[in-house]
Amino acid sequence: MLRQAAEGVLIHQSEFCQSNAVVVHGRAGVLLIDPGVQGYEMDCLADDLRGLGQTVVAGFSTHPHWDHLLWHARLGAAPRYGTARCAATVRDRLSDPGAKARIAAVLIPPDIADQVPLDLLGLIAGLPAGTARIPWDGPQVRIIEHQAHAPGHAALLIEERGVLVAGDMLSDVLIPMLDLNNTADPIEDYLAALRLLEGAAGDVDVLVPGHGSIGGADQVRARIEQDRAYVHALRDAGVPGDPRVGPSATFGKDWLPGVHERQLQGLARRYVP
Ligand SMILES: [Zn+2]
């Protein structure tokens, strides 16, 4: 079911990890950002779009993780984009013929693995490095690329709608997950990305994270602060007073403390003199 987040901006939420697909109305059709996870959900999205008399004219993946790279045949054959670095990472990872089988076996939770269609996974074109806006016929969508959660991760700012699509940043249910493999200084990269988003936050009325709840203007700064505090705690190997990994963590994400532990261990290895 599609619901409105702002004028001309609709959200379709997946049961998996509260993943948010974002639909932006343009002049000749819609832009679809991170389409969804399970096949029947993307099928439902395709039905909803047909009910609105809309077709998808462009797609965008915020970053090269499997749950943001999916597609469904019924969504059509519009060009799908990502940043140059995102697309290069996807190409590299999928160049191995066994890659999809490994994604299905290792990365996708077993209870939904047979519901996730991988045939159209990752078929995105990289926009030239430094591209400022998504090329499409609709409201301007600014690309805010940063190195934080995954290579070539992009948040998207739809200025005239006051909407920030944050990709896997600024979630109220997931802790910051750092990219420990592709960067020399994941802590500073993450903090720099938060500063970049903070710089763009002034005109944001609606925040749409890749996973979690839609937030209002007050939530943008609150989540930036919460994520910064978490990253500081991680850096200082302190105990984060973060409800997302505490005993009151909601949404059944009992795997988050494990992610936190792995990040602590990964960083300890990395920053040992
Ligand atoms: Zn991700």
Grade residue 28 by pLDDT with cuts at 50, 70 and 90. very high
How far, in Å, CA of 48 to CA of 45, rounded?
5
Distance from the alpha carbon of residue 26 to the mean position of ligand 1, in angstroms: 26
178 CA to centre of ligand 1 in angstroms: 10
Distance in Å, CA 51 to ligand 1 centroid: 30
End-to-end CA distance of the chain: 52
3-state secondary structure 16-59: HHHEEEEEEECCCCEEEECCCCCHHHHHHHHHHHHHCCCCEEEE
**Taking residues 208-218, what's their average pLDDT?**
96
pLDDT tens column, 58-80: 999 999 999 999 999 999 999 99
- Mapped onto helix, strand or coil, the DSSP state of residue 126 is strand
Average pLDDT, the chain: 93
| Confidence check: pLDDT of 239 > 90 | no
Report pLDDT digits (tens) over 97-150: 999 999 999 999 999 999 999 999 999 999 999 999 999 999 999 999 999 999
pLDDT for the residue 242: 84
Structure confidence at residue 258 as a pLDDT band (50, 70, 90): confident
Q: How many Å lie between the centroid of ligand 1 and the Cα of residue 151?
A: 10
Counting DSSP H helices and E strands in the chain, the numbers are 6, 12
Q: Which residues of 207-233 are buried (b: 16+ CB within 10 A; e: fewer)?
A: bbbbbbebbebebbeebbebbbebbeb
The dihedrals phi and psi of 88, each to the nearest 5 degrees, come to -65, -40
CA 150 / ligand 1 centre spacing (Å):
7
d(C-alpha 187, C-alpha 244), whole Å: 19
**Token code pair at residue 272:** 């040992």
The average pLDDT across 184-205 equals 95
Q: Which amino acid is at 110?
A: P
C-beta separation of 209 from 169 below 8 A:
yes
Model confidence at 252, pLDDT cuts 50, 70, 90, reads low
pLDDT of residue 251: 52
Distance, CA 149 to ligand 1 centroid (Å)?
A: 6
Ligand 1: centre distance to CA 114 (Å): 20
pTM beyond 0.85: the answer is yes
**How many angstroms separate the alpha carbon of residue 136 from the centre of ligand 1?**
24
Closest CA to 61 of 189, 165, 212: 165
pLDDT score of 17: 87
